[in-house]
Amino acid sequence: MNLFSEIAFLLKKETTLELRQKYALSGILLYVTSTVFVIYLSFIKVEPTVWNTLFWIISLFASINAVVKSFFQENSARQLFYYQLVNPIAVIISKIIYNICLLLVINILTFIMMSIMVGNPIHNLSQYFLAIVLGSLGFSITFTFISAIAAKANNSATMMAILSFPVVLPILVTLIKLSKSAIRMTDTTWAKDVLMLGAIDLILIALCLLLFPFLWRD
């Protein structure tokens, strides 16, 4: 099998696992729904800046919860079996791609629910969606790799939060700037922010591929 068919095969495996144990995805969705509902209950109407902040906070925590299990749900012995069976690079790439899709679904759902429940202050919808796509990309790359690191340390869920928050902060800062300009809260040109996010994502994915071979071997 070459790399691509391996990735396709692993993606299929991830999806099957997800569909088989539905509680993971539905748990995240329930989390998002209840958070948005709490926001609706406490705010009723939300200022645009607050809307933006709340959206990214929900997105951040939902993403962490969704991605954290990518290296925890299978025990290390089975993972070693995968690494014997296929190229380890294919494992991480497939997990990243799978998480990108998952986070896109979660973020867009969050966006729709926020829009329905507490109103939609966005002026430039396509720009905001660009921010969501770039954000899902950045979050999934960072969190997947950090979850691979955290899985090696045993008290993983806490470790995941400690390790990933500082790393994801530059992405988050740029994302909030980009999305703020989509709400017209700031009047800056946003091409630079898009470029910046793209560059960070590229650097991170390159480092993932470069560093993963050192990580998986025990």
Positions touching another protein (CB under 8 A) are: 142, 145-146, 149, 152-155, 159, 162-163, 165-167, 169-171, 173-174, 177, 188, 192-193, 196, 199-200, 203-204, 207-208, 211, 214-215, 218
- Residue 114 and residue 36 in contact, taking contact as beta carbons nearer than 8 Å: yes
Dist CA 106 CA 101 (whole Å): 9
Closer to another protein by Cβ: residue 23 or 214:
214
Q: What angle do CA 48, 49, 51 make, to 5 degrees?
A: 60
Closer to another protein by Cβ: residue 78 or 217:
217
- Name the minimum Å distance from CB 61 to another protein: 17
Closer to another protein by Cβ: residue 59 or 164:
164
> To which H or E segment does residue 2 belong?
none
Closer to another protein by Cβ: residue 84 or 189:
189
Closer to another protein by Cβ: residue 102 or 171:
171
- Name the minimum Å distance from CB 171 to another protein: 8
- Name the minimum Å distance from CB 1 to another protein: 27
- Residue 65 and residue 107 in contact, taking contact as beta carbons nearer than 8 Å: no
- Name the minimum Å distance from CB 39 to another protein: 24
End-to-end CA distance of the chain: 25
- Residue 43: CA count within 13 A, CB half-sphere: 17
- Name the minimum Å distance from CB 208 to another protein: 8
Closer to another protein by Cβ: residue 23 or 218:
218
Helix 191-216 × helix 88-118 angle, to 10°: 140
- Name the minimum Å distance from CB 94 to another protein: 19
Tokens 């991480």, located at residue: 92
